[in-house]
Amino acid sequence: MSQTSSGHLDHVLNEERLFPPSAEFTQQAVIGSREQYEDLYRRAAETPDEFWGAEAREHLHWFQPFEQVCNWNTPHVEWFVGGKTNASYNCLDLQIASGHGDRVALIWEGEPGEQRKLTYNDLHREVCRAAGALRQLGITQGDVVSIYMPMTPELVVSMLACARIGAIHSVIFAGFSSEAIADRNNDAQAKLVITANGLYRRGKILPLKETVDEALEKSPSVKNCLVLRRIADQPTPMTEGRDLWWDELVETQSDDMPAEPLDSETPLFILYTSGSTGKPKGILHTTAGYNLWAKRTFQWVFDHRPNDVYWCTADCGWITGHSYVVYGPLAAGATCLIYEGAPNQPGPDRFWDIVERHGVTILYTAPTAVRAFISWGDEHVDKHDLSTLRLLGSVGEGINPKAWMWYREKIGGGRCPIVDTWWQTETGGIMMSPLPGITATKPGSCTQPLPGVIPKVVDESGHEMGVDEGGMLCIAQPWPGMLRGIWGDEQRYVEQYWSTVPGMYLTGDNARCDKDGYYWIMGRIDDVINVAGHRLSTIEVESALVSHPSVCEAAVVGRPHEIKGQGIAAFVTIRDAEPDEKLRDALRQHVRKEIGALAQPDDVRFTASLPKTRSGKIMRRLLRDIAAGEETSGDTSTLEDYSVIAKLRNDEE
Ligand code: PRX
């Protein structure tokens, strides 16, 4: 086991500052007393069936009531067995039925500055039309639809349209390459791809349709491609008989299409994420449990009130966008802002300009963004009035105390609680987080578990660690939002999550719990790296590198990066090629083409050999040390030296 982010640990070990919420915040909070939290927590832990049964009856719409709350047969779980509901109904029809039809559901801003507002009534109409279009294309319950779109209302509409008819969406982040799209299409046997004819990113147009076309050459299961005309007059290749324009097909459909009553465990979506092997895994979430988890965690953690303007800056290509742009906030009747583009377009103050103009009250973003804002300078923040903000959130990786303090002081004006939310694609929603009305926060800690979450920090034999002792973070009881499997790979599901510590879900993170019962995440136990809050497997990047004809062997490790948290360092051995700048650039471009821009290595170093153990395992820890060092010239000699040291060390072991 490797304690990956020991640097991070050093930073947070001595963190003793405590920031209690203001009395004013506490007074109005959804969870406003420690007793209330303790009561919820105790009931969810001791009588989960009673607790979650009542939660589900109160917070979801049931076409048919469920007969059993939880059927737990390790490692398989079913929640709300026998019931019928629909996530699209919960997010739309239920809001309208509760009298919120005229409330704004989505506020959208495109990068060039266009703005649209859709009420719950508007969104309902758009989703019904899109669902009609899906039906017309022959999509039925259980079919997989890949969605590769910019952050537009139509992305949200597409997800909810799938949910409405029981189709399974697989959203692929619009920065992934054609190879990555094809892999995902094939793994899920997608029948339809929904895309757009481009998106704006830092003032440039990215031609998404061309990328999808390349992927479709290798995706035999895909029969049709539905294309949103995001950019008027953009020349777009369309294949007769396969490709259809959104405005021609969707906008002619009926404004009403009843939501299909679906069994609680009907698959809602697949979302691909990186594990410790090269092949991304399709994490499966189902309808009722996930929707309930997303909704209740949203309400608890973000202390949502009807007048809030809530902005989660994540893209729907990631789990945060699924749970906290779409399924959580909409099921809670929230007004959500979505923004298409880059945070520094046209200037480094774009986010603060948006907050000011729209009167954002809750902002949920990632530490990598906070670090970028710090580096761009306070003057861009100072230009704007951010006094509408009342709550700040952080997600994706640990937020180091320095960035936490800046976020609190500079963005939150010292008055907004910060909720540092720990969770994963697999958990479906937030698992540990401060509750803003009651939790005194410590910079760098995700503090305490939410009701229904029973965390355990254990060693390899499953024994619980003591106070402040690092160990593997596991979850000891099923919760409604947990993943139901890996698409098409039962064995990997069991091995990855349920085989290390019997009976417990293995998160893959290291953590420690302090004397106050606060949790501190200490990094991964596997070969997953976290680049700008996004998960990548080092092996995935290595596979991309070795698919280049000049590369014999590659080893990829994470290294500290000031903005991205972790950057990617690649060590490669080559054949029939010169170890020069040109090749280095070609390799970086190659990875970009194979996986996407976020996987492009920051450093590529050429070496004659890679340091290995006697059994042939690459000594990653050593490479991590080298990658973290000052030496970045790409000179091979250092590694050669280290390689010798590695051999010596190995002999001693
Ligand atoms: O290592 C943890 C880190 O991100 C991983 C989950 O990544 P992903 O499935 O892509 O989901 C990201 C959005 C939920 C975790 O295993 N991580 C996420 N949030 C935090 C975190 N590490 C520390 N503190 C957090 N708040």
Tell me the per-residue pLDDT of 405-431, one tens digit each, with 9 for 90 and over.
999 999 999 999 999 999 999 999 999
With H, G, I as helix, E, B as strand and everything else as coil, classify residue 476. Answer: coil
Residues 578 and 625 in one domain: yes
Query: 27 lies in a domain?
Result: yes
Given a cut of 70, whether residue 235 has pLDDT beyond it is yes
State the CATH number of the domain containing residue 558: 3.30.300.30
Give the pLDDT score at 653: 35
Given a cut of 60, whether residue 580 has pLDDT beyond it is yes
Residues 441 and 552 in one domain: no
The alpha carbon of 523 and the centre of ligand 1 are apart by a number of angstroms equal to 9
pLDDT band at 523 (very low <50, low <70, confident <90, very high): confident
pLDDT band at 539 (very low <50, low <70, confident <90, very high): confident
pLDDT tens, 288-297?
A: 999 999 999 9
Nearest CA to ligand 1 atom 13: 396
Residues 549 and 498 in one domain: no
Residues 498 and 561 in one domain: no
Q: CA 195 to CA 144: how far, in whole Å?
A: 14
Of the candidates 587, 638, 581, 646, which has an alpha carbon nearest to the alpha carbon of residue 608? 638
Residues 48 and 186 in one domain: yes
Encoded tokens for 618 = 């690459």
Distances (CA, A) of 335 to 1, 48, 310, 353, 395: 44, 31, 6, 18, 20
78 pairs with which residues across the strands?
71
Residues 330 and 413 in one domain: yes
Residues 498 and 536 in one domain: no
Give the pLDDT score at 3: 36
Q: Between vectors from CA 109 to CA 107 and to CA 113, what angle results, nearest 5°?
A: 145
Neighbouring residues of 119: CB distance < 8 A, sequence distance ≥ 6: 101, 102, 103, 104, 105
Nearest CA to ligand 1 atom 8: 424
Given a cut of 70, whether residue 210 has pLDDT beyond it is yes
The alpha carbon of 299 and the centre of ligand 1 are apart by a number of angstroms equal to 20
Indicate which atom in ligand 1 lies nearest the CA of residue 430: 14
For residue 494, give the H/E element and its range. Answer: helix 490-498
The answer to whether 366 touches 138, Cβ cutoff 8 Å, is: no
pLDDT tens, 85-140?
A: 999 999 999 999 999 999 999 999 999 999 999 999 999 999 999 999 999 999 99
Residues 536 and 640 in one domain: yes
Query: 483 lies in a domain?
Result: no
Given a cut of 50, whether residue 599 has pLDDT beyond it is yes
The alpha carbon of 324 and the centre of ligand 1 are apart by a number of angstroms equal to 14
Q: List phi, psi (to 5°) of 369.
A: -70, -40
The answer to whether 34 touches 438, Cβ cutoff 8 Å, is: yes
Encoded tokens for 69 = 């709350």
Distances (CA, A) of 378 to 250, 364, 412, 445: 45, 19, 13, 25
pLDDT tens, 393-402?
A: 999 998 989 9
578: left (phi over 0), alpha (psi -120 to 50) or beta: beta
The answer to whether 140 touches 109, Cβ cutoff 8 Å, is: no
Q: Any alpha helices (H) in 332-482, and if so which ranges?
A: 350-358, 367-376, 379-382, 401-406
Query: 575 lies in a domain?
Result: yes
pLDDT band at 279 (very low <50, low <70, confident <90, very high): confident
Indicate which atom in ligand 1 lies nearest the CA of residue 422: 26
DSSP for 282-310, written as a single string: EEEEEHHHHHHHHHHHHHHHHT--TT-EE
> Which of 392, 424, 497, 519, when mutated, tests ligand 1's pocket best, judged by the most ligand atoms within 8 Å of its CB?
424
Give the pLDDT score at 609: 84
The answer to whether 412 touches 389, Cβ cutoff 8 Å, is: yes
Q: Is the C-alpha dihedral spanning 137, 140, 146, 150 positive or negative?
A: positive
Residues 553 and 428 in one domain: no
Lowest-confidence range among 164-173, 191-200, 239-248, 550-559? Answer: 550-559
The mean pLDDT of the chain is: 93
Given a cut of 60, whether residue 11 has pLDDT beyond it is no
The alpha carbon of 445 and the centre of ligand 1 are apart by a number of angstroms equal to 13
Given a cut of 70, whether residue 10 has pLDDT beyond it is no
71 pairs with which residues across the strands?
78
The alpha carbon of 395 and the centre of ligand 1 are apart by a number of angstroms equal to 7
What is the percentage of the chain residues whose pLDDT exceeds 70? Answer: 94
Give the pLDDT score at 12: 52
CB atoms within 10 A of CB 591: 28
Residues 253 and 372 in one domain: yes
Query: 12 lies in a domain?
Result: no
pLDDT band at 642 (very low <50, low <70, confident <90, very high): low
The alpha carbon of 330 and the centre of ligand 1 are apart by a number of angstroms equal to 23
Edge-to-edge strands, sheet with 309-312: 115-119, 104-109, 335-339, 309-312, 362-365, 391-395, 418-421
Given a cut of 60, whether residue 620 has pLDDT beyond it is yes
For residue 569, give the H/E element and its range. Answer: strand 565-574
Given a cut of 80, whether residue 647 has pLDDT beyond it is no
Q: CA 354 to CA 411: how far, in whole Å?
A: 13
Give the pLDDT score at 387: 98
pTM value is: 0.92
337 pairs with which residues across the strands?
107, 311
CB atoms within 10 A of CB 514: 17
Residues 41 and 123 in one domain: yes
With H, G, I as helix, E, B as strand and everything else as coil, classify residue 616. Answer: coil
With H, G, I as helix, E, B as strand and everything else as coil, classify residue 102. Answer: coil
Domain hosting residue 540, numbered range: 528-652
Boundary (domain end) residue, out of 459, 485, 502: 502
Measured in whole angstroms, the distance separating CA 61 from the mean position of its chain's CA atoms is: 26
Distances (CA, A) of 529 to 27, 499, 526, 534, 620: 40, 22, 8, 8, 12
Give the pLDDT score at 4: 35
For residue 45, give the H/E element and its range. Answer: helix 34-46
pLDDT tens, 443-495?
A: 999 999 999 999 999 998 899 999 999 999 999 999 999 999 999 999 999 99
Query: 469 lies in a domain?
Result: no
Given a cut of 70, whether residue 207 has pLDDT beyond it is yes
Residues 550 and 498 in one domain: no
> Which of 269, 297, 483, 535, when mutated, tests ligand 1's pocket best, judged by the most ligand atoms within 8 Å of its CB?
535
Given a cut of 50, whether residue 552 has pLDDT beyond it is yes
Give the pLDDT score at 628: 87
Given a cut of 80, whether residue 651 has pLDDT beyond it is no
State the CATH number of the domain containing residue 378: 3.40.50.12780
Q: CA 554 to CA 53: how far, in whole Å?
A: 51
Burial of 203 (0-12, 13-18, 19+ CB in 10 A): exposed
Q: List phi, psi (to 5°) of 377.
A: 105, 145
Compute the average pLDDT of residues 276-283. Answer: 86
Question: What are the pocket residues of ligand 1 if the criterion is a CB atom closer than 6 Å to any ligand atom?
Answer: 273, 319-320, 395-398, 420-425, 446, 507-509, 521, 524, 530, 535
> Which of 521, 529, 566, when mutated, tests ligand 1's pocket best, judged by the most ligand atoms within 8 Å of its CB?
521
Given a cut of 60, whether residue 649 has pLDDT beyond it is no
Nearest CA to ligand 1 atom 2: 397
What one-character DSSP code corresponds to residue 88? H
Give the pLDDT score at 614: 67
The alpha carbon of 607 and the centre of ligand 1 are apart by a number of angstroms equal to 33
Give the pLDDT score at 636: 45
The alpha carbon of 425 and the centre of ligand 1 are apart by a number of angstroms equal to 8
Compute the average pLDDT of residues 142-158. Answer: 98
Lowest-confidence range among 3-17, 56-70, 92-106? Answer: 3-17
Query: 436 lies in a domain?
Result: yes
Query: 391 lies in a domain?
Result: yes
Query: 142 lies in a domain?
Result: yes
- Measured between its terminal Cα atoms, the distance across the chain in Å is 16
Indicate which atom in ligand 1 lies nearest the CA of residue 524: 1
> Which of 324, 423, 497, 512, when mutated, tests ligand 1's pocket best, judged by the most ligand atoms within 8 Å of its CB?
423
Give the pLDDT score at 13: 52
Of the candidates 117, 32, 43, 6, which has an alpha carbon nearest to the alpha carbon of residue 435? 32
What is the percentage of the chain residues whose pLDDT exceeds 90? Answer: 85
What one-character DSSP code corresponds to residue 89? I
- Total tally of structural domains belonging to the chain: 2
